[in-house]
């Protein structure tokens, strides 16, 4: 096994190089409906070091056919700072919108706060955290609403205060509790606030792609302010990894085909070399984990 251990780092490096051998696809024609532009977004994406590195943020979003993402480090603006200090920040009319944010991780709940550049104190009730997000010009999205502790602590006051609820999230496929809680909490939120946004998020860390669950946002303008305004107004539909849509019927019916298409198609720009590189890099990493680094 010594030779395997020695080759593993080289396999990782070669795999990473090959994985970058993608082709640039032409920009998609923007989807319009009801007089709005429809953007595909992921509002719960963790950045480096617990998620996507800044130099890959826009590239990966484009590959996954996303128009807007929010960087949401746990109780910090670390990923946003890294993004804003990256050597190259893509721009242009068709550039991916990258929004600042944090995942406020508190006792009994998590809140994806989008559109803020300052952290919010985490030792406070959900309603107070949502109010703090609003005071800073952002929105508060209740993240992965499931679990016994969450159910016991959630109040109508807190649920009424949020701007959106994650109803499509990878965790929903992982337990009976989540399959029950997600739609139940979303329906409860809608009863309290009919404008609450239906949100699909990847909660990307390292496993599962960005945009595996996504949100279609009906915006008046393709800007950060336009996205935040649409989220506040509840003009969204959520899409899960199986191509199912959730939210107000007037919006879900318009994006149902796009949801199925986005979730059933391979990433844009993939090539045989890039797919082989991904497999090679993961095989090398697995060998390093199982066998340990080379000892010379």
Tokens at 36, concatenated: 């709005």
Query: Could you check whether the bond before residue 49 is cis, i.e. omega within 30 degrees of 0?
Result: yes
> Which residues on neighbouring strands pair with residue 31, listed in sequence order?
38
Residues 6+ apart with CB under 8 A from 243: 259, 260, 262, 263, 264
Residues in the chain: 296
Find tokens 């826009």 and name the residue: 58
pLDDT at 292: 60
Interhelix angle for 272-291 vs 2-19, to 10°?
Answer: 150
Per-residue three-class SS string for the chain: CHHHHHHHHHHHHHHHHHHCCCCCCCCCCCEEECCEEEEEEEEEECECCCCECHHHHHHHHHHCCCCEEEECEECCCHHHHHHHCCCCCCCCCCCCEEECEEEEEECCEEEEEECCCCCCCCCCCHHHHHHHHHHCCCEEEECCCCCHHHHHHCCHHHHHHCCEEEEECHHHHCCHHHHHHHHHHHHHHHHHCCCCEEEECCCECCCCCCCCCEEEEEECCCCHHHHHHHHHHCCEEEECCCCCEECCHHHHHHHHHHHHHHHHCCCCCCCHHHHHHHHHHHHHHHHHHHHCCCCC
User: For each of the chain's 296 residues, which pLDDT tens digit applies?
Assistant: 565 556 767 766 675 566 556 666 566 778 999 999 999 999 999 988 888 888 788 888 999 999 999 999 999 999 999 888 876 665 554 589 999 999 999 999 999 999 999 999 999 999 999 999 999 999 999 999 999 889 999 999 999 999 999 999 999 988 888 999 999 999 999 999 999 999 999 999 877 789 999 999 999 999 999 999 999 999 999 999 999 999 999 999 999 999 999 999 988 766 666 667 667 766 766 776 666 655 54
Closest CA to 63 of 284, 242, 279, 278: 278
Angstrom CA distances, 9 to 36, 178, 202, 295, stand at: 49, 38, 29, 12
- How remote is the C-alpha of 97 from its chain's centroid? 13
Give CA–CA dist 170/41, Å, rounded: 15
Number of neighbours of residue 87 by Cβ within 10 angstroms: 6
Contact, 116 vs 127, CB < 8 A? no
Number of neighbours of residue 236 by Cβ within 10 angstroms: 29
HSE of 270 in the Cβ direction (CA atoms, 13 Å)?
Answer: 13
Contact, 207 vs 50, CB < 8 A? no
């Amino acid at each position: 096994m010594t030779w395997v251990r020695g080759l593993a780092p080289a396999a990782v490096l070669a795999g990473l190089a090959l994985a970058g051998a993608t082709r640039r696809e032409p920009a998609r024609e923007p989807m319009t409906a009801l007089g709005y532009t429809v953007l595909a977004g992921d509002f719960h994406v963790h950045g480096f070091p617990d998620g996507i590195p800044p130099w890959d943020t826009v590239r990966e979003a484009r590959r996954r056919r996303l128009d807007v993402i929010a960087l949401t480090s746990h109780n910090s603006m670390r990923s946003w700072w890294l993004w804003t200090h990256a050597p190259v920040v893509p721009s242009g009319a068709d550039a991916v919108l990258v929004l600042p944010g944090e995942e406020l991780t508190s006792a009994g709940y998590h809140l994806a706060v989008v559109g803020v550049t300052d952290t919010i104190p985490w030792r406070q009730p959900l309603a107070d955290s949502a109010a703090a997000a609003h005071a800073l010009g952002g929105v508060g999205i209740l993240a992965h609403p499931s679990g016994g502790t969450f159910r016991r602590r959630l109040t109508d006051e807190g649920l009424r205060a949020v701007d959106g609820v994650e109803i499509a999230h990878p965790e929903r496929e992982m337990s009976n509790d989540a399959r029950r809680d997600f739609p139940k909490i979303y329906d409860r939120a809608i009863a309290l606030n009919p404008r609450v946004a239906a949100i699909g998020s990847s909660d990307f860390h390292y496993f599962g792609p960005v945009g595996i669950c996504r949100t279609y946002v009906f915006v008046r303008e393709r800007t950060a302010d336009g996205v935040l305004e649409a989220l506040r107004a509840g003009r969204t539909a959520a899409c899960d990894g199986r191509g199912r849509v959730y939210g107000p019927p007037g919006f879900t019916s318009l994006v149902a085909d796009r949801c199925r298409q986005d979730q059933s198609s391979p990433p844009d720009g993939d090539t045989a070399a890039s797919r082989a590189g991904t497999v090679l890099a993961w095989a090398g990493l697995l060998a390093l984990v199982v066998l340990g680094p080379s000892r010379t």
